[in-house]
């Protein structure tokens, strides 16, 4: 698209007036949010702020927990809020995929990882030799040995399971990773590895990322833009530097002040 002679890329994800409600209770409201290729947008906030509800709604999964979602979330031209199952499944395999907080819980415990990977690709029409090549390439990219495909989810470490989930996204060649607290169950050294990996994928493949986290320090190392949420509402949206260095809302200031910093005794 060209406006006044300047090329404007259209957003990968476009959210307008998205509301998640349980009965009469509004738990998450995002008035407007666009996510572009290669961009990392973070949703931060404390428990009950509505950040995870917002992420699930963006994935088109809001109604699975009994919530009602209204508004529009356009991903590749599909409004996932009211898309039929078949269409939604296509969006999940090609445009966006979820990387969750507990990778081991996300993987079927009765299947070896190799079978899981093949099934995921088959679901999206990738079979045979093509599937094997994609899986091998993805494992190499996240630096996991091939022999991990013979293991069951409980036979690998939390960090390896999370790498495997990311490898599935790489093998599916999705345009965006939706990551819900992807490292909060991991040790800090493993967390650093996963953060590096996600950042590299973003740079190499122009992958977008919607990152949900309660950890403002973590978010500040990865995100281009930060959305601060509280009690279901967006209280501030800005570039990383704006939010960190000149926050507009009192709540953002309170959050920033509460983060403990090594070497500074409060």
Sheet with 233-239, strands from edge to edge, namely 78-79, 68-75, 13-22, 25-35, 233-239, 225-230, 40-44, 208-213, 176-180, 96-99
Residues in binding contact with another protein, number by CB under 8 A: 43
Q: Is 199 in the site for another protein (CB under 8 A)?
A: yes
225-254 binders of another protein (CB under 8 A): 240-241, 244-245, 254
Question: What x/- string results for residues 115 through 144 when contact with another protein is judged by CB under 8 A?
Answer: ----------------------------x-
Among 74, 106, 195, 233, binds another protein (CB under 8 A): 195
- Counting DSSP H helices and E strands in the chain, the numbers are 10, 12
Question: What x/- string results for residues 33 through 52 when contact with another protein is judged by CB under 8 A?
Answer: -------------xx-----
- Strand-pair category, 233-239 with 225-230: antiparallel
**DSSP E strands, the chain:** 2-3, 6-7, 13-22, 25-35, 40-44, 68-75, 78-79, 96-99, 176-180, 208-213, 225-230, 233-239
Please say which residue, 68 or 221, places its beta carbon nearer to another protein.
221
Task: Give min distance, CB of 194 to another protein, in A.
Answer: 7
Q: Is 26 in the site for another protein (CB under 8 A)?
A: no
CA dist., res. 216 & res. 223, Å (int)? 10
Please say which residue, 80 or 252, places its beta carbon nearer to another protein.
252
In the complex, the residues that contact another protein under the rule CB under 8 A are 46-47, 143, 157, 159-160, 187-197, 199-200, 214-218, 220-222, 240-241, 244-245, 254-263, 265-266
């Amino acid at each position: 698209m060209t406006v006044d002679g300047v090329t404007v890329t259209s957003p990968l994800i476009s959210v307008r007036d998205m509301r998640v409600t349980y009965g009469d209770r509004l738990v998450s409201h995002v008035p407007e949010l666009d996510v572009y290729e290669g961009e990392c947008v973070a949703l931060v906030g404390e428990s009950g702020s509505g950040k995870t509800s917002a992420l699930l709604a963006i994935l088109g999964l809001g109604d699975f927990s009994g919530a009602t979602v209204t508004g529009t979330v356009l991903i590749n031209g599909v409004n996932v809020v009211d898309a039929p199952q078949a269409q939604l499944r296509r969006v999940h395999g090609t445009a966006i995929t979820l990387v969750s907080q507990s990778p081991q819980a996300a993987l079927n415990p009765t299947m070896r990882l190799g079978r899981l990977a093949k099934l995921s690709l088959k679901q999206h029409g990738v079979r045979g030799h093509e599937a094997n090549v994609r899986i091998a390439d993805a494992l190499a990219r996240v630096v996991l040995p091939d022999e991990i495909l013979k293991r069951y989810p409980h036979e690998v470490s939390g960090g390896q399971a999370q790498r495997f989930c990311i490898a599935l996204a790489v093998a599916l060649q999705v345009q965006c990773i939706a990551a819900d607290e992807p490292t909060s169950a991991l040790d800090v050294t493993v967390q650093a590895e996963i953060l590096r990996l996600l950042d590299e994928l973003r740079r190499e493949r122009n992958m977008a990322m919607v990152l949900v986290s309660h950890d403002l320090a973590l978010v500040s190392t990865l995100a281009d833009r930060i959305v601060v949420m509280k009690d279901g509402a967006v209280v501030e949206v800005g570039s990383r530097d704006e939010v960190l260095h000149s926050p507009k809302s009192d709540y953002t200031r309170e959050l920033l002040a509460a983060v403990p910093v090594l070497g500074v005794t409060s």
